[in-house]
Structure 1
Amino acid sequence: MKAPKRLDERERLAVLNILEDLRDSYRMLEKAHQELKDVDRVKTDIISNVSHELRTPLTIIKTSLEIIRSEELDKEEFENILSMMEDSVTRLNDHIENLLRAVDIHRGIYKLKPEPVDLTLLVPSIVKKAEKNAAERGVKIKMSLANDLPKIRGDPAALERVFENLLGNAIKFSKEKGGLATVAARKEGSSVRISVSDNGIGIPEDKLDIVFAPLYQVDATSTRMYSGIGLGLAVSKSIVAAHGGKIWAESTVGEGTTVHFTLPVAAEGD
């Protein structure tokens, strides 16, 4: 076995930053656990999925730390380990955010803070954050935003959650190596329609209406290929509805899925 690696100052700070993010995630998880104590039905339904999905990134982080402690790594190996840890913290945070939003929505305490939102700024920022995950899966992301796209009225943080959920799904379910996820937006009357598409496995027609139900997964077996706790679409539907919009899915099995949703155009002078 190689001698344990002695981290330089930059590497030590990088690991400490990730561990600080992990501590923040743990505090969020404790909050979610307390909230779930008052929502027995939700707690019962998600316990198996949540335990698995939260355990997976924590296991990766734990294993990565053990490797850093026990082995002499070159720069490239260290950066790869660091990247895996960062990705695991991001995945953990996504699960916890959806869990917290689902609980707030279920309890009727989720509140929006609407303001004019420029989608030509918001969408590219979401896409940029998703590019690393997409590239690792061999998926390209395409944007198609109308030139005359007006501002919409919405809560930026809530809409970011919707875009992250839908684009994350599009990347996850697109074909690996040759996959394509598309985000498009255009004005339709007094609303803007946003469409997020993939070219993946598709959803059976008889499942299109229920994929937005809390905890629903097309493949809910313990051996399913795709990870997730089944809350992303349900949370997205509730957020879109709270904005006065609609959300629906169109799909062809074996060709892909498109999720559409509408948001109200911001009033003149808003």
Structure 2
Amino acid sequence: MPKSRKKTSGRKTRGSDELRELRSKVDRLDKTLAGVKDSLADTQTEFDKSLAMLEDLPGGVCLVDAKGRITFANNALADMLGTTADKAVNRRFVDLVSPDDLPHVKKELGAAGGRLPPRIEFTLNRRKGPDLAVQVVSTPLYGRKKVFFGSLALVTNVSERRAFVRKLQSLAGLNTTILLHAPLGIITVDHAGFVTSENEAMRTTFCGGKTWIGFNAYEIPTLHSAGVDEALREAFRGESVSLTSVRFRSFGDEEARIVDLELVPVQEADKKTELVVLFFEDRTEASKADEMRQMLAAIIENTSDAVISVDLDGKFRAWNPAAELMYGYTAEEILGQPVDMLMRDRAPDWVTIRDKLIQGEIIYRPNALRHRKDGTPITVSIVLAPIRDESGEIIGTSGIHRDVSEHARWEETLEAKNLELEEVNRKLRMLDEMKETFMTTISHELRSPLVSARGYVDLLRGGEMGQLTEDAKSGLDVAHKNIDHLIKLINDLLTLSSLTAKDDDTLVRNKFIISEMAEITAAQTRVNKPRKRIEIKFDIPDDLPRGFGNEKLYERVFTAILSNAEKFSEPAAFIKVAARQRDDGWIEVVVSDRGAGIPKEHQDRIFERFYQIDASRAREFGGAGLGLALAKTVVDIHGGEISVESKVGEGTTISFTIPAE
């Protein structure tokens, strides 16, 4: 019996130990499960926080499981799809792709083993609205032991950038049709700084016919001097750069060009700039035109003339400061107003003016009546010209207005004075005619009795009326001389009177030998003054052409000039008479003496009638001051010239011309 009890006790002990160990494992398992529950709760909390953060992101975000289904989509992605976030969940990722891009996307998914590739672009399959291009950047998600369970995808709208890049790539060459034929100069520079392509406009206009392809853009002096190298560095950092009014001098340019440059970076999907496109626009002529417009604007602003433009409806469109001063209206008051503000009751004239301008006419109104703001009338000179737009169509008129009110008043005064002057001239002509008539009448009345008196004197001197004493003979000689002098004076007066009533068409002309005429008149001069023993020398070539004019009148010219030369020369002096034919065909006669000379202040007047330099010397030498006046009248009526050169104490030279045969 005892032995049997002993065995039962041993079994009970072993069972208790196993039970305790089992309970201990259960307790440890409970603790582990509690830890897992806490960990799962924390994980869920963090996951919820992450989802909340993803929900608030501005870009599209979605979670895609290993089977390619969307398990989460934020509102931004739902907006891109044109739906709600709830409806986007449980859709297959490929359902987001447009039918056109679906083959491409499936190929990319297949290459990635069914997972989302790291980066992919496609057009969304939207329910409504325009096409939307997106870029999807995905990150794989792994569990324990690196088991893949899905992807986190960031979806970005790249529609604008994709279109921009494609356009730039086309312009950059990488489609050459646009590149080669663009009117702008275009080059492309790679990330290493080398010029990879250029178009024809760049080569011919900006490179002087040479090429930049293969050169490092940073080392080209022309680009460096224009500051393009610094702009290139900025463009390769992803920024578009604009440079305006750059002074650009290339091969063969004598003057620098004015150029606008645009540097546009071309980026790949990773936003790395691989290429920069440079657009060169030659604005040299445009810049000159801008300068000219600025200069013209400055001139218009600062001119003293009013510059006004009016459209075809007759309303003011431009009004410079001078117009404000002239008319009293500010630009704010006048612009947009009708022209009748200045024209008042003459406004209907505008219709006629407009019709002429439409025909392209330029209109000049020398004395137009306009009105100032205060109603004061003003006389203005106006030049109106049509304004054309770029197509050549007339769109209005520009007018330059100048205030000529004071000028108009002076013109009125001048016109009145001219009328007065005409009346005075009329009276002077009447007096001159009366004088000529008087002189002619008196001359005839005096000449007849003088001729008769000289005849009786000649009879007495010849003894026809009895013998005379010596004193009587001497007295008759003096009387004869004075009668001859008076007759000569009267003849000169009569000749002058007859010549003033003639012109060269009424002259009787004939041919005469100038040397013979000069010698005959010189001999007569010596006969008249035998005691002075004046020697007259001649320098007249034998082949000199004959003169062609009124011979008797030219004899009077020679006589008058030689008599004057003899009169004012010292005894035993000599006078020189020279003649030559000028290049213009006229014969020029020059008479020179070494007499007293004529003061300069009298030289312009010696050809006037009755002019005497010194009245006391006139009484000593005789003469009435008609000889040189007659000479000038004869030369003038033949269309010739007569002049004097003289120095006091050295002598006088008188030159005159005779028509040649």
> Where on the TM-score scale, by shorter chain, does this alignment land: which range?
0.5 to 0.7
Residues 1:137 and 2:565 aligned together: no
- Name the Cα RMSD after superposition: 3.8
State whether residues 640 and 659 of structure 2, in contact with CA within 8 Å, keep that contact through their aligned partners in structure 1. yes
Residues 1:153 and 2:574 aligned together: no
State whether residues 591 and 655 of structure 2, in contact with CA within 8 Å, keep that contact through their aligned partners in structure 1. yes
Residue deviations 1:164-201, cap 9 Å, x none?
111111111111x2232222211212011111222211
State whether residues 526 and 533 of structure 2, in contact with CA within 8 Å, keep that contact through their aligned partners in structure 1. no
For residue 230 of structure 1, report the CA deviation from its aligned partner: 1.2
Residues 1:239 and 2:614 aligned together: no
Larger gyration radius, structure 1 or structure 2: 2
For residue 120 of structure 1, report the CA deviation from its aligned partner: 2.2
For residue 70 of structure 1, report the CA deviation from its aligned partner: 7.1
The equivalent position to 2:494 in structure 1, one of 90, 96, 100, is 100
In structure 2, distance between residues paired with 1:144 and 1:87: 33
User: What amino acid maps onto 1:94 in structure 2?
Assistant: K
For residue 138 of structure 1, report the CA deviation from its aligned partner: 3.0
Residues 1:212 and 2:607 aligned together: yes
Residue deviations 1:34-79, cap 9 Å, x none?
xxx985446999xxxxxxxxxxxx9999999888767445xxx97x
**Superposed, which structure 2 residues align to 1:28-39 within 5 Å?**
39=433
Structure 2 alignment gaps of length 5 or more:
1-430, 440-451
Residues 1:186 and 2:186 aligned together: no
In structure 1, distance between residues paired with 2:548 and 2:645: 25
In structure 1, distance between residues paired with 2:535 and 2:617: 29
Residues 1:255 and 2:646 aligned together: no
State whether residues 243 and 264 of structure 1, in contact with CA within 8 Å, keep that contact through their aligned partners in structure 2. yes
* Structure 1 residues 172 and 108, CA gap change in structure 2 (3 angstroms): same
In structure 1, distance between residues paired with 2:507 and 2:587: 19
For residue 253 of structure 1, report the CA deviation from its aligned partner: 0.7
For residue 81 of structure 1, report the CA deviation from its aligned partner: 7.8
**Superposed, which structure 2 residues align to 1:78-93 within 5 Å?**
87-88=481-482, 90-93=484-487
In structure 1, distance between residues paired with 2:529 and 2:535: 6
Partner of 1:197: 592
In structure 2, distance between residues paired with 1:85 and 1:224: 17
In structure 1, distance between residues paired with 2:624 and 2:437: 12
Describe the SS at the equivalent of 1:143: strand
Residues 1:172 and 2:567 aligned together: yes
* Structure 1 residues 134 and 143, CA gap change in structure 2 (3 angstroms): farther
Residue deviations 1:69-128, cap 9 Å, x none?
67445xxx97x8887666545433321221111212334478421122211222222222
Residues 1:230 and 2:600 aligned together: no
Partner of 1:113: 508
In structure 2, distance between residues paired with 1:62 and 1:200: 39
In structure 2, distance between residues paired with 1:222 and 1:207: 15
State whether residues 202 and 257 of structure 1, in contact with CA within 8 Å, keep that contact through their aligned partners in structure 2. yes
- TM-score, with normalisation over the residues of structure 2? 0.29
Describe the SS at the equivalent of 2:654: strand
* Structure 1 residues 64 and 198, CA gap change in structure 2 (3 angstroms): farther
In structure 2, distance between residues paired with 1:226 and 1:59: 24
Structure 1 alignment gaps of length 5 or more:
1-36, 46-57
Describe the SS at the equivalent of 1:244: coil
State whether residues 534 and 573 of structure 2, in contact with CA within 8 Å, keep that contact through their aligned partners in structure 1. yes
* Structure 1 residues 92 and 109, CA gap change in structure 2 (3 angstroms): farther
Across the two proteins, how many residue pairs are aligned to each other? 216
* Structure 1 residues 157 and 66, CA gap change in structure 2 (3 angstroms): closer
* Structure 1 residues 193 and 83, CA gap change in structure 2 (3 angstroms): farther
- TM-score, with normalisation over the residues of structure 1? 0.66
> Percent identity among equivalent residues?
31
Partner of 1:264: 659
| Worse overlay, 124-133 or 202-211 | 124-133
